[in-house]
């Protein structure tokens, strides 16, 4: 039976190679079913075939590989529990998880699994396809070990022996409940399909539970407005501001809770350093965008700062971010670099003393500097324009 199914897979793939969309759906379904079944025992009682068909139909009906192929506006709906969760991710990891969680919420497949294609990632983030392929592949190597912290609640007033029925996302409006605040993995499985150019994410059960109950309390914002933010802290800050904007301020949050929120509880022992390296850059980037005017205020206990709060003013006219694949009339024409071009010129620029004195960051190694420049050359037209005189110096045309 197993051998027949393997032959069946080969025939299916061979017959539909010329049909792009169906090829994507079938290959995805095959990989998913193999991951679930063939890694342990051969399928029994036709379960494989039924799940195979179910997965294909769910993906085909929902248009899984074209969800983010129109990027004028991408409205994210994210559970407030996730917005306020504590974690640390790279920019690419945060972008991928945000897109995947939103996709799962709006186009559920009936499982804990969702796919994001390189084409979708490229379109949503306004980067080249090559950069998206490389980013997804690199992210697949690191995201499996990432964790986050958030609270869930057990409502002890709910009768019955099934504890899962007592689990709540929102805090009950009585005192007979238990708080479950733990650290969870984002994923229980991840696979990057190199040839097909997509990543398959298998969410952990706690995260899938949050996604399933998103409509109980959520924050909405336009993902496109976060694309040009340069740091993870800016993207996280924007989500938090979007949650509290109608009240005009965030709550007073202790310094330790702020550090936990950004996943740096064990870093920045000096509060001034945390403010300078994390809070201030995020606030400055959001203010420069023009949608909000943020003001950081502090509260002292004794001689030291114990809490921070952010006052939020929503501006009447928000300034749209400049898409990375467009250039304003005041800028010279430019284009994004391919991965090979970016790596080559990044090495040259990183070894250019004049360039380094102007653009290198404090504490950044030459290797880290080159990696950052390469990423900027692949995704940020504004940066290419800023670096153009140095690029021309090293042979860029």
State what percent of residues in the chain have pLDDT above 70.
77
| pTM for this entry | 0.67
Residue 350's pLDDT is: 87
Please check whether residues 197 and 116 belong to one and the same domain: yes
Asked if residue 327 is part of any domain, the answer here is no
Write out pLDDT tens, residues 168-222. Answer: 888 888 888 899 888 999 999 999 888 888 999 999 999 999 999 898 889 999 9
Judge whether 260 lies within some domain: yes
**Residues 211 and 244 both lie in one domain:** no
Point out the domain boundary residue: 197, 222, 247.
Answer: 222
**CA 348, CA 370: separation in Å to the nearest integer?**
9
Residue 365 within a domain: yes
Instruction: List, edge to edge, every strand of the sheet that includes 113-117.
Output: 113-117, 198-203, 187-193
CB 282 within 8 A of CB 237: yes
In this structure, is residue 161 part of a structural domain? no
Nearest to 124 by CA among 44, 188, 70: 70
CB–CB of 174/182 below 8 Å?
no
Closest by CA position to 174, among listed 158, 161, 159: 158
The predicted pLDDT at position 318 comes to: 45
**Is 373 found in the same domain as 310?**
no
The segment with the largest mean pLDDT, out of 40-44, 269-273, 380-384, is 269-273
Residues 273 and 309 in one domain: yes
DSSP structure class, residue 298: E
Residues 212 and 234 in one domain: no
Co-location of 97 and 133 in the same domain: yes
Q: Which of 178, 225, 228, 184 is nearest to 205 (CA)?
A: 184
Contact indicator for 227, 68 with CB cutoff of 8 Å = no
**DSSP β-bridge partners for residue 154:** 167, 178
Q: Rounded CA gap, 165 and 274, in Å? A: 41
Other C-beta atoms lying within 10 Å of the C-beta of residue 117? 25
128 contacts 375 by C-beta, under 8 angstroms: no
Report the pLDDT value the prediction gives residue 396, as an integer from 0 to 100: 86
Reported as a pLDDT band with limits 50, 70 and 90, residue 20 is very low
List Cβ neighbours of 139 (8 Å cut-off, separation of 6 or more). Answer: 90, 92, 93, 96, 199
**C-alpha to C-alpha distance for 152 and 169, rounded to whole angstroms:** 5
Domain of 345? 339-393
Domain count, the chain: 3
Q: Give the lowest-confidence range in 2-11, 235-244, 286-295.
A: 2-11
Beta partners for residue 75, in sequence order:
222
Residues of the chain with pLDDT > 90: what percent?
44
Average pLDDT over residues 112-138: 91
Clarify whether residues 76 and 125 are in a common domain.
yes
Structure confidence at residue 371 (pLDDT):
87
**Domain end among 194, 222, 250:** 222
Q: Is the model's pLDDT at 36 over the cut of 60?
A: no
Residue 109 forms part of a structural domain: yes
The pair of three-digit structure tokens given for residue 172, joined into one six-digit string: 């009950």
Q: How far, in Å, CA of 105 to CA of 107, rounded?
A: 6
| Domain-ending residue, one of 314, 349, 366 | 314
Do the Cβ atoms of 65 and 198 come closer than 8 Å? yes
Backbone angles phi, psi at 100, to 5 degrees: -70, -45
- For residues 295-313, average pLDDT: 94
CB 249 within 8 A of CB 224: no
Residues 351 and 254 in one domain: no
Residue 189 is part of a domain; what is its CATH number? Answer: 1.10.10.10
**pLDDT at site 120:** 93
Residue 51 lies in a domain: no
- The answer on 190 and 249 residing in a single domain is no
pLDDT in tens, 58-71: 444 344 556 777 76
Q: Mean pLDDT lowest for which of 197-206, 296-305, 329-338?
A: 329-338
Residue owning tokens 């996280």: 236
For residues 254 and 286, membership in a common domain is answered with yes
Candidate from 61-65, 153-157, 201-205, 309-313 with smallest mean pLDDT: 61-65
Is 50 exceeded by the pLDDT of residue 330? no
Rounded average pLDDT over 237-241? 97
Same domain as 261, residue 200: no
Domain for residue 50, yes or no? no
Query: Is residue 1 domain-resident?
Result: no
Pick the range with the lowest mean pLDDT from 157-166, 198-207, 329-338.
329-338
For residue range 337-356, what is the model confidence (pLDDT) as tens digits? 888 888 899 999 988 878 88
Most confident of 267-281, 318-332, 356-370: 267-281
Task: Indicate if 197 and 298 belong to the same structural domain.
Answer: no
């Amino acid at each position: 039976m197993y051998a027949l199914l393997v032959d069946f897979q080969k025939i299916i793939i061979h017959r539909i190679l010329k049909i792009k969309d169906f090829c994507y759906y079938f290959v995805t379904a095959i990989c998913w079913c193999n991951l679930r079944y063939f890694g342990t025992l051969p399928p029994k009682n036709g379960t494989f075939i039924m799940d195979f068909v179910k997965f294909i139909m769910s993906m085909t009906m929902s248009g899984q590989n074209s969800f983010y192929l129109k990027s004028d506006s991408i409205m994210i709906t994210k559970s407030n529990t996730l917005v306020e969760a504590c974690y640390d991710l790279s920019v690419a990891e945060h972008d991928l998880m945000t897109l995947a969680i939103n996709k799962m919420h709006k186009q559920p497949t009936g499982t804990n699994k969702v796919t994001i294609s390189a084409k979708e990632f490229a379109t949503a983030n306004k980067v080249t396809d090559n950069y998206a392929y490389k980013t997804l592949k690199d992210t697949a190597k690191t995201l499996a070990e990432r964790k986050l912290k958030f609270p869930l609640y057990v409502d002890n007033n709910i009768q019955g022996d099934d504890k899962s029925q007592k689990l709540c996302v929102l805090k009950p409006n009585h005192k007979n409940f238990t708080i479950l605040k733990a650290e969870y993995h984002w994923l229980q499985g991840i696979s990057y399909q190199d040839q097909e150019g997509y990543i398959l994410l298998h969410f952990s059960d706690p995260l899938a539970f949050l996604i399933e109950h998103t409509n109980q309390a959520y924050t909405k914002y336009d993902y496109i407005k976060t694309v040009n933010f340069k740091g993870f802290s800016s993207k996280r800050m924007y989500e938090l501001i979007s949650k509290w904007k109608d009240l005009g301020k965030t709550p007073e949050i202790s310094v330790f809770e702020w550090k936990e929120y950004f996943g740096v509880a064990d870093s920045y022992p000096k509060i001034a350093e945390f403010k300078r390296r994390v809070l201030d850059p995020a606030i400055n980037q959001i203010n420069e965008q023009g949608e909000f005017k943020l003001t950081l205020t502090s509260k002292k206990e004794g001689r030291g700062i114990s809490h921070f709060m952010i006052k939020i003013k929503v501006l009447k006219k928000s300034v749209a971010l400049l898409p990375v694949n467009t250039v304003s009339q005041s800028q010279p024409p430019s284009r994004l670099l391919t991965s090979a071009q970016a790596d080559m010129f990044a090495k040259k620029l990183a070894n250019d003393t004049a360039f380094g004195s102007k653009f290198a960051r404090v504490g950044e190694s030459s290797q880290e500097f080159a990696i950052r420049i390469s990423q900027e050359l692949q995704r940020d037209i504004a940066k290419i324009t800023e670096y153009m005189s140095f690029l021309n110096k090293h042979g860029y045309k």
